[in-house]
Amino acid sequence: MGDAVSASLVASPKLAAERVPVTAAPPLERLVEDGLALIETRLAEECRSLGEAIPGLSDVLGRAVGTEGRGGGRWRPLLTFAGAEACGGSGSDALDVAVAVELTHTASLVLDDLPCMDDAALRRGQPATHRLVGSAGAILLSVGLLARAMELIGGHARWGGVLCAEWGSTVGLRGMAGGQAMDVAASGGLRGAARRLHRAKSTALPAFALSSGARSAGADERTRGELESFGRLVGWAYQLVDDVRDLGEDQRLGRAPGGARPLAQSRRILRQAIRRVSGVPGLGKGGAEILAGLAVRIVGVEPTPLRHDREERQGRD
């Protein structure tokens, strides 16, 4: 459940591929800037409010969530915001759900850093939460963040119950928790259903982020389902880029999920994601372009050009 961001969300990456339906259009710039500002403000408010309930631990909570400019790229909640906008709704109407997405992500990072998991000393350049309050304290903070995420999602005026059920599936054994369990338990290469579940630790939350934004905007089931699939592709493409740094170690442990060439695979998956979103029905004007452009920024690599797609398929045949 990595948190590194390969490229700034507010930078305009160069696209090498021809006919990619992505532009550095002003609507995308405004969405990123406005969305991130709203998300950061609400996260700070949440941390202040939750901090009142845990005297002496409010600073630890703020550090974990990454307030005051100490956070990551916030691209997962931004997907929720963008999903609502792309479906003709208002990102601000999905803001509580977007904040819940980030709280869920934060909880997963705190758990991931525990000695019984990855045993990480640092997170975002600061001591990991368990180094500040111990493993028990870190676990309890994570549970509290997950509970607050469900509160926020359940408070949606129209879709609260449905979104809570979908969030539960996202976090549970068919999603992030199950994927992490595969990662912890794996003693060799994963295959079949185990491999697919392992990917869910990276793909389930981006899928929910986009789907929940679309649902908040009143999108129909077909549109919502397509955006959920798009989110899974974006999440996996991002994770593969993140895996490049750890490829040598992962291969020695027999668990390199992207194979020998994760960067090349990420570029192909990003191309697939862009193609998919270009054909999603029910999006508002410019919605596909905004989502495709955001995907490129998130993943931080250039998608494989179309001609390379054809050449590689022909080579495999």
- pLDDT (tens digit, 9 = 90+) per residue, 142-185? 999 999 999 999 999 999 999 999 999 999 999 999 999 998 88
Which one, of 179, 176, 184, 183, lies nearest residue 149 by Cα? Answer: 176
Per-residue pLDDT at 111 exceeds 80: yes
Q: Please give the mean pLDDT across all residues of the chain.
A: 86
Per-residue pLDDT at 274 exceeds 50: yes
Task: List the structure tokens of 219.
Answer: 């999108």
The answer to whether residues 242 and 111 touch, using CB atoms and an 8 Å cutoff, is no
Cβ contacts of 71-74, under 8 Å, gap ≥ 24? 71/40, 71/43, 71/124, 72/3, 72/4, 72/5, 72/124, 73/3, 73/5, 73/8, 73/9, 73/298, 74/9, 74/36, 74/39, 74/40, 74/102
Instruction: Please identify which residue in the block is written with the tokens 């950061």.
Output: 40
If one counts every other C-beta atom within 10 angstroms of the C-beta of residue 172, the result is 13
Task: List the structure tokens of 165.
Answer: 């059920």
Report all structural domains of the chain as residue ranges with CATH numbers, in order of start: 26-316 (1.10.600.10)
Per-residue pLDDT at 119 exceeds 60: yes
Which one, of 74, 50, 76, 45, lies nearest residue 61 by Cα? Answer: 50
Q: How far is CA 271 from CA 91, 179, 212, in A?
A: 26, 24, 23
pLDDT at position 261, please? 83
